[in-house]
Amino acid sequence: DIVMTQTPSSQAVSAGEKVTMSCKSSQSLLYSENKKNYLAWYQQKPGQSPKLLISWASTRESGVPDRFIGSGSGTDFTLTISSVQAEDLAVYYCEQYYDTPWTFGGGTKLELK
């Protein structure tokens, strides 16, 4: 199974701050035939279901604010929030869909400083 490791596990932030969080996979998620990285980011707010933010490592879903930026390739990926808003306080999960069993990272929890 592909192991996904997210760091940090939690991060205290202030509104307006730039935030970065990391996701590393135990093997490359880059499929050579289409040059796509099979990596997604989800946001889960307290008491809610996860919500897809980004697919293919860097493609924002429709309606997702452009302050959410996904980057990286191969085994190293980053989710950046350029200017954190109060409504962004949540747990963020990365997920690989390169191969089953699809696997998630342990999550990064954004908390208010």
Partner 1 sequence: QVRLKESGPRLVQPSQTLSVTCTVSGFSVTSYHVSWVRQPPGKGLEWVGAIWKGGSTDYNSALKSRLSISRDTSKNQVFLKMNSLQTDDTGTYYCAKLGAGVMDAWGQGASVTVSS
Find the binder of partner 1 among 20, 71, 73, 103 (CB under 8 A): 103
H helices of 12-58, where? none
Q: Which residue has the tokens 């939690």?
A: 10
**Least distance CB 106 / partner 1 (angstroms):** 5
Structural Rg of the chain based on CA atoms:
13
Scan residues 48-77 and list those touching partner 1 (CB under 8 A): 49-52, 55, 61
Is 102 one of the binding residues for partner 1 (CB under 8 A)?
A: yes
**Least distance CB 38 / partner 1 (angstroms):** 7
Amino acid of residue 91: V
β-strand 30-31 against 4-7: which pairing, if any?
A: unpaired
Residues ≥6 apart with Cβ < 8 Å to 65? none
CB of 74 or CB of 106, closer to partner 1: 106
The residues binding partner 1 (CB under 8 A) are: 1, 38, 40, 42, 44, 49-52, 55, 61, 93, 95, 97, 100-107
